[in-house]
Structure 1
Amino acid sequence: MIRKARLRDVRDIHRLISHFAKTGQVIPRPLGELYECVREFFVYEVPEKDLIAGACGLHVVWEDLGEIRSLVVSEEFQREGIGAELVRAALAEARELGLKRVFVLTVVPDFFERLGFREIDKGELPHKVWADCIRCPKFPECDEVALVRELEDGRA
């Protein structure tokens, strides 16, 4: 079940992000920051196991631009479409907010291309996007690909 994150989910979100940050798939996020931005997140909850098995954030960057960030799905639940559903939920919210474009920086561009994102040059993104990069262990040798999805077509 996909829903908006609640405060009680933050430690589970942090656990998932920390796990995947160790593998270099996402940027680490401090627990305090996750509490501050909990409203940005969607989670995939497995109620029968009382488990948060996935998370995805939508961060508003500017009046017309958002970022999909910290998309994580527990290994045992991967390849079930959960990541795609989390991204679709974030895109739907982006449309509701009035965003025109959503971008992602990722090491798995093919996943996002299947969801309608297209690759762009990182230089096309505003400079404020790079504030998170300083925390990345890969900085300044970034291996992530920038992709963008236009939302003006009315579909998420």
Structure 2
Amino acid sequence: MPQLCAYLSFNGDCAEAMAFYAKVLDAKLEALITFGQMPDGEPVPPEHADKIMHAYLVHPDFALMAGDTPPGVPFDGMKGVMMALTYPEVADAERVFNALAQGGTVQMPLGATFWADTFGMLTDRFGTAWAVNGGPKEMGPK
């Protein structure tokens, strides 16, 4: 069965972002490979050698991959995508939301909705958009 995994692009701060996400999301950073560590192949400009070619973060419930943009590829930010997290407990959603919001921008503060006891949206300091749910409510037919 295939697995779907988000892959985020960064502009030189992938290692910092993924270490932060590992801490906040209680996940393990299993891979952090730089362009300079790639096996023989394309030459890498020296100024790009320490940038991240591939990062892999693992949690029992999800995985997240990321990398800095390759040499010669312009970075135009992350657009049109949002990472969504759902926690069974409101307290967990609040903890993660508040941690991700540090240095970022909150678009919608946490608050009650018809689908969850709490929900909020933010863009973190690395430019990643997040939607955080806590205490999901039953959404069956009426």
Under TM normalisation by the shorter chain, which class is it?
0.3 to 0.5
**TM-score with structure 2 setting the length:** 0.34
Hey, which of these two has a bigger chunk of strand by percent?
2
Q: Counting helix residues as a fraction of each chain, which structure ranks higher?
A: 1
* Larger of the two Rg values belongs to structure: 2
Tell me the TM-score normalized by structure 1.
0.32
